[in-house]
Amino acid sequence: MSRPLVVIVGPTAVGKTALSLRLAQEFSGEIISADSRQVYRGLDIGTDKASPAQQALVPHHLLDVVDPDQILTLADFQEQAYQTIEAIHACNHLPLLVGGTGQWVWAVVEGWGIPRVPPDMALRAEFEAQAAAIGPEAFHAQLAEVDPQAAARLDPRNVRRVIRALEVYHKTGIPISEHQRKTPPPYEILIIGLTRPRSELYARVDQRIEEMIEGGLVAEVERLVAAGCTWEFPAMSGLGYRQIGQFLRAEVSLAEAVALIKKETRRFVRQQYNWFQLTDERIHWFDLQAQAEAAVYQSVRQLVERQGFNAIA
């Protein structure tokens, strides 16, 4: 028999953390973060990481995994997520994969094949020079010759992804489309999507950002810089950190930085709805404004009972 996995998705500020905590307490669950920014140590306020008090309520996993100058690749995350799910099942607890990073969520849910090919910066620089010299269309044609399936999926204007596909082929001799074949994991998966009216969601985004500023986001970024983090670190390019960096470098005022964070976060919300589409029939959508929480509980309860999984507290 397959084992259950609950996945909670939705845009930032919709209420995923609060609901996942309540579900985990109700159903003996453990939370696995699927947030590509919360993996960084020291980035707490700006990523809206679960507080120490919240983390004390139920076990949390895949938070604080790497330092700000490091990268947790998609392949690394997928492998660690599967290992964590298996460990949670072994304890007869219910795993809840929670987050808004669409690529990370679907990599686990759909079982993406991910090439374990580390970046070759010299080769990438060579490809970048080629693309600049001959143009993106001609450069894309090189991929079409060796991997027509990948080329058909990739927009020639997305040079970065075309470079990655060519890099994988040149390093392994195997087209990236072969590497990327999907193998669904052996779980019965319930995907819960949380949504709210867009105007309410944007108001919650603005309120959250104001709370981050009041809660010490500027001081957090200052501490990171004092500890040796540079603006080139992957972690420092994230929402909030990038804009506060502009403020600390006197490029914008604090009010302007806050306005930029709000603007870019709203744009990010729209991107998240592209990853998690309201028309996706795999996702069971619940409008939290409509007091749908009881229906969410019922869906999870039906899953664990159907599985005969004794995870109810």
Whether 292 is in a domain gets the answer: yes
Q: Encoding tokens for residue 162?
A: 């075309």
Whether residue 58 is found in the same domain as residue 207 = yes
Whether residue 73 is found in the same domain as residue 94 = yes
| Residues above pLDDT 70, as percent of the chain | 97
Mean pLDDT (whole number) for 67-85:
95
Q: How many domains does the chain have?
A: 2
Whether residue 85 is found in the same domain as residue 224 = yes
Domain-ending residue, one of 179, 206, 228: 179
Whether residue 37 is found in the same domain as residue 102 = yes
**CA–CA separation, 180 vs 299, rounded Å?**
32
pLDDT at 306: 83
Write the pLDDT tens digit of every residue in 234-258: 899 999 999 999 999 999 999 999 9
Structural domain for 222, as ranges: 3-112+188-307
The runs of H, that is alpha helices, within the chain are 16-26, 52-57, 74-90, 102-109, 121-134, 136-146, 148-153, 159-172, 176-179, 198-214, 217-226, 241-248, 254-275, 293-307
Whether 259 is in a domain gets the answer: yes
Whether residue 156 is found in the same domain as residue 229 = no
Between 307 and 165, where is the model more confident? 165
Whether 313 is in a domain gets the answer: no
Mean pLDDT (whole number) for 34-54:
96
Whether residue 242 is found in the same domain as residue 194 = yes
Write the pLDDT tens digit of every residue in 204-232: 999 999 999 999 999 999 999 999 999 99
**CA–CA separation, 230 vs 234, rounded Å?**
9
**CA–CA separation, 107 vs 74, rounded Å?**
8
- In this structure, are residues 99 and 9 in contact, taking their beta carbons and an 8 Å threshold? yes
Whether residue 197 is found in the same domain as residue 58 = yes
Q: How confident is the model at residue 310 (pLDDT cuts 50, 70, 90)?
A: low
Domain-ending residue, one of 179, 204, 222: 179
State residue 257 phi and psi, 5-degree precision: -65, -45
Whether residue 217 is found in the same domain as residue 93 = yes
Give the CATH number for residue 107: 3.40.50.300
Whether residue 75 is found in the same domain as residue 10 = yes
Residue 290, pLDDT > 90, answer no
Write the pLDDT tens digit of every residue in 108-141: 999 999 988 888 999 999 999 999 999 999 999 9
Give the CATH number for residue 131: 1.10.20.140
pLDDT at 312: 46
Q: How confident is the model at residue 307 (pLDDT cuts 50, 70, 90)?
A: confident
Whether residue 287 is found in the same domain as residue 159 = no
Least confident piece of the model among 46-55, 147-156, 283-292: 283-292
Whether 84 is in a domain gets the answer: yes
Residue 305, pLDDT > 90, answer no
Place of tokens 């003996």: 28
Least confident piece of the model among 21-25, 74-78, 250-254, 288-292: 288-292
Whether residue 82 is found in the same domain as residue 204 = yes
Between 173 and 2, where is the model more confident? 173
Q: pTM of the entire structure? A: 0.88
Whether 312 is in a domain gets the answer: no
Q: How confident is the model at residue 311 (pLDDT cuts 50, 70, 90)?
A: low
Angle between helix axes 102-109 and 74-90 (nearest 10 degrees) is 50
What are all long-range contacts of 120-128, with beta carbons under 8 Å and residues at least 24 apart?
A: 120/167, 120/171, 123/167, 123/170, 123/171, 124/163, 124/167, 127/163, 127/166, 127/167, 128/159, 128/163
Q: Encoding tokens for residue 92?
A: 């007869």
Domain-ending residue, one of 179, 204, 221: 179
- Side-by-side strand order, sheet with 283-287: 60-61, 29-33, 94-98, 3-9, 187-195, 283-287
Whether residue 64 is found in the same domain as residue 86 = yes
